[in-house]
Each structure stands twice: as structure tokens, then as C-alpha cells.
A and B are shown apart, each in its own frame.
Chain A
């Protein structure tokens, strides 16, 4: 227990951790501010102003069309001989909605905001997790700690638990703040209508899946950095995965005409996990032509259950490898 407390303290005392927490709060704040700025509530005054704007525009266009018509009547040759085909503005084209910012609809737009939030926090969790153990290995702090607590597995597991619990707390706290913030935005710059318990439940489940994504990212960053004994190991691994796997592999799979090439790319799995499912279309398959629906290619659906199982498996393998290596290696 004392070790757990020490590790939690170490994590929150690190400048790196604090810097990234501040950064993530800053980015979230900017996103919220931008959203608040670009939406507006439908007040009678705003509606009246927009209607006036629309009316004025319409009248201007009508006047312009009449002038054109007069010129046409005087010199029809310039207008192609006939004045009947000249454009005449129609009132329906000048709607008040187009003359004012739209309101923020909580029910419509908040789920996307939850996913944005989860993706951002997962990124930060990965970096914080990697640096937490990477810097310790790199600076020799890990060796010092092992002189005090010679149980290697216990030390690494305690460090990881401290990280996971800390990330859990961070995500829950900032997630609550994020929800509150957008509720305020919707209240003052939009609408919170149609929020049935079912909608709340769906948002809650999305939030839970987001939390899972954050914790998995943290654990994977921690695991890779511990195996490589360096923060850069984890960051390098991610870069390698991004470049080699996502771009390189994408191209190779495409060229090789592999079935469902996109199913090998990580973003699709993250999307599937967050949006409950993603469809991957096999572009290379001959299409299944039918008279009613046209060309139909085979579709592979990645469900959130499948994506979750894959993430869990990968995390287990990486963390297990980290545990296995710390057990065996010489610490010099």
C-alpha cells in the first residue's frame, strides 16, 4: 500500500504529467469555446433580425431583377432576343435560418464530442503512461526502487495500477466537466430538448467505452516503454505502427488486393469501438449486381465487441511481455 501511495505521488508530482494535463485541459477548453462561439440560441430577437436580413436581401434582388428586365425590354438583342427567361428571385430562397447561427443540439451533437474527448485523452494517457515508467528506467530510478523493494513483479504491477487508477480519476473528472460544459453550451446556445433516459444511457455507454479506450492506451504505453526501458521506445513504436502499418501496410494490402484491406488499419477498430460498429467494404471484390440496388460489394462489420476483445488481447500481451521481461532481465 505504501508503494502504491508513493507511485501515485510520483506520477502526479512529475512535471511531464502536469504539463500534459494542462495541455489537454487547454485543448478541451478551446474546443468548447469554439463550439460555444459557432452556435446561437433561437431567440425572438435573433429570429426577427434574421427575418429582416432575409427580407432585405430578397427586396434587393427583386429590384436588381426589375432593372435587368427594363434593360432587356429596351435592347432585347443584348439578352439573346427573349426577356422571358430572365432570372426572378423567389421568396422561398431567402429563409431566415440561413441568416443566423444554428443552435447547439445536445442530443444530436454531444455523442461526437464524447468521442473527440475520448480520443484526445487516450492519446495523452498513452504518452503519460509511457513516460511514467520510461523515465524511471532511463534515469536509474527503477534500479534504486528495486533496491528498496526487491520484488520486481510487484513493483511493476503496483506502478501500473497507480497509473490506471490515476487515469481513471482523470478521465472521470474531466469527462464530468466536459459533459457539464456542453450542457451549459446547449442551455445557452442551443437546445437540450428530447433528452430521454434512453439517450442519456446511450451517451453513458459511449462514455464508458471511451474510458476503456483511455485505460487501454495508458496500459499499452506503459507496457511498451517498460519493455524498451525508455519513453522514446513507446513513442517510437507508435510512430512505427503509424507509418509502417497504417500507411505502408495500407498501400501493400491495397496492391495485393487483400480482402477487406481496411480491416487491418487501427483507426477502423477505434471507430468501431466508439460508434458500436464500423463497416468495411471490400473494394476489390467483384460486385454483386442487382437491378434494385445496383452494384453491391461484400461488407465486413467490425462490432464493438470484436474491437473490444482485440484491444483487450493486445493489452494483455504487451503488459504480460513487460512483466515477463522485468522478471528475467539483468538490471544494469
Chain B
């Protein structure tokens, strides 16, 4: 596979009135051709900053970036025609209609104006195309933004939080649209903090936290390598549950929950160890099921943004990742 997009060691520091803020701190990312790639991260982790830098809107302090094999921002003018992008709920001049807005962009970019009605149809704005953008809802503006990104038939489509403001129907349409686009050979880079979305449509993901990559790869790889390996253990009826838990704890197992008829082991990277330890004491397991983790769990764990009882997490606050397994 060839990489459509490569970023390595990207650094960006914003200088403001209140000193400097490191938005990107040596960030890396690779997006392969023909994929829908999810770009995940909590609020303020640097997703938009990455995309702005990539598109030449802001200057990085350090790092290398290539799009379609061309180094950017140096060769951005050559590849700009192949990259359709929306960055952070895009704004349009409110007094122009969607049609005028797109036709001006088509003119400026040397794109065939016949594509304008086609993309408006595609995003479902055909009937409102002649209304002023000022009168649109947030979701409609988002659709217009996607239409503007699709206008030049890009090879790489970059969408920053495209689900923002969309209704459930709109989100599903967006999902189908992206699947269709990917099927037609377009590479899609999709930034989001809505994980269900990403898990449903993305082939691969990059997770960013505090300006650094914390995980990357196909969705299944990321899930496999970062699941917490929790298993649910049920014993024969009548067996002394607390006794079994004590045996396992003594061997180093973490038992996050103990119920009337079952308990869970939080760090069971090798579940066979559980049956072995208990069988040695003549305790037999009647059910041993892995508790499947989803992307959300992985995300919360990796970015350290899982909610903690009685504490209000602040946006820039990330906990160090806790690693380590048991029973291997």
C-alpha cells in the first residue's frame, strides 16, 4: 500500500498573550491510500491544528509532511487541486446562496461549474441551493462544506468533525456517503471525537492526545493491542466465590467487580491461568467470557480522559497511560 499522507515529528507552538501553548508535540501520522482513516482525540488535543498545518493555513515549528508523495507546504499548490478539505465548522459568506458560493469556488479553482448542482444533490441541498447561507441550520452549513470539499473530485478528502451539527439521519447519510467515496477509490481522513462513528466506518485510526500520537493502525489492531483484557468468570453454583477471588488476588489478579454469582478479572491477558489456578484448588469454572472492549474504552484509556467520580476534568488535563498485564 502507498501512503497518501505522511506526517512526522510535527510541532506547533501557539504564541499568545498568556505565553506559549504546545498544540503539537512531535506528532506522527500515516494514511494509506483508499482507506477511511479515523483521526481521534479529545477536545483540544491538536486535531484541527494538524489539519490546518497540513493545508498550509498555519506554519509548523518543525516536522515533515507529504501529501500524495509531495512535500508540503512547499508543493501545496501542486496538490491542492487533489485535496478536498473542510477545517473546523467552516464559515461561508452569509449573503451568498449555496449555489453562488460553490460556483465562485469552482471558478477560482478552475473546476467545471457543472459539478455544482451534482455535489449539491449529493449532500441533499438541492432544494435549498438558492437560499442565502445565512438562513441555513448548522447541519446544512456542514453539508455545504462537504459539498465544497467534494467539488474538485479530490483524491484525498479531509473532513474535520463532519458530524458536527448533523441529525442522526444526516450522520447515517454521511457514513454511507463516505463508504461510497472510499469504494470509488478516494482516501478519506475523518477527524472526530464521536467514537461509534469511527468504529463503524473507519478502516484504520490514529489516536492523538496532547499533541502526540498514542495509537495507530487498523481498528482491530488498535482494539486488540489496547484492550484491557477483562474476562468474566462464573463458578459452579455453591462454590465459595470470595475464596476463589482471594486465590486469584494472591496471584496478582485485579478484580474490579465481585457479584453474587460471578466476578471479573481486569488484567487477564492469559485467561487459561485463571482456570489453572482455580483447578489446582479443586474449584471449577463454569463460564469464562472475554468482556469485549470497544474503541471508546481504548480511547478513554489511552487519552486518559475517562471520567473520575467527584472530579471535573479540565480540557488540557491528561492522565498518564497505565500499562502492564498479568498472567503471561
Contacts and interface: CB of A to CB of B under 8 A. Distances in A.
Interface of A: 2-3, 5-7, 9-10, 13-16, 135-136, 139-141, 143-151, 330-332
A148 B80 contact: yes
A140 B55 CA distance: 15
A6 B52 contact: no
16 contacts: A2-B109, A6-B104, A6-B105, A9-B107, A13-B96, A140-B91, A141-B91, A143-B90, A147-B57, A148-B80, A148-B152, A150-B73, A150-B76, A150-B77, A331-B57, A331-B58
A156 to B, nearest CB: 13
A133 to B, nearest CB: 12
A150 B108 CA distance: 11
B199 interface: no
Interface residues of B, number: 29
A136 B58 contact: no
A148 B108 contact: yes
Contacts of A9: 104, 107
Contacts of A14: 95
B290 interface: no
B185 interface: no
Nearest to A328: B59
The winner among B95, B105, B107, B152 for most chain A CB atoms within 10 A is B107
B201 to A, nearest CB: 23
Interface string B95-114: 11000100011011110000
A13 B57 contact: no
B143 to A, nearest CB: 15
Contacts of B93: 135-136, 139, 141
A12 to B, nearest CB: 11
Contacts of B5: none
Contacts of B58: 330-332
A7 B93 CA distance: 14
B69 interface: no
B85 A145 contact: no
Nearest to B12: A330
Nearest to A10: B104
Does more than half of chain B's interface fall in helix, strand or loop, or is it mixed?
loop
Given A146-B57, A147-B80, A149-B80, A140 B104 contact: no
Interface string B114-137: 000000000000000000000000
A290 B301 CA distance: 96
A151 B108 CA distance: 12
Contacts of B95: 14-16
Interface string B213-245: 000000000000000000000000000000000
Nearest to B75: A150
Contact of A13 (B80, B100, B108, B152): B100
Interface in B79-96: 80, 85, 87, 90-96
A140 to B, nearest CB: 3
Interface string B41-53: 0000000000010
Given A2-B107, A6-B107, A143-B57, 14 more contacts: A2-B108, A3-B108, A10-B104, A14-B95, A15-B95, A16-B95, A139-B93, A140-B90, A143-B87, A143-B91, A144-B91, A144-B92, A148-B152, A332-B57
Contact of B105 (A13, A145, A330): A145
A151 B77 contact: yes
B56 interface: yes
B148 interface: yes
A155 to B, nearest CB: 8
Nearest to B105: A148
B225 to A, nearest CB: 35
B52 A332 contact: yes
B77 A147 contact: no
Contacts of A140: 90-92
B55 A147 contact: yes
A140 B96 CA distance: 13
The 10 closest A-B pairs by CB, nearest first: A140-B91, A6-B107, A330-B58, A6-B108, A148-B109, A150-B76, A331-B57, A139-B93, A141-B93, A2-B110
Nearest to A1: B110
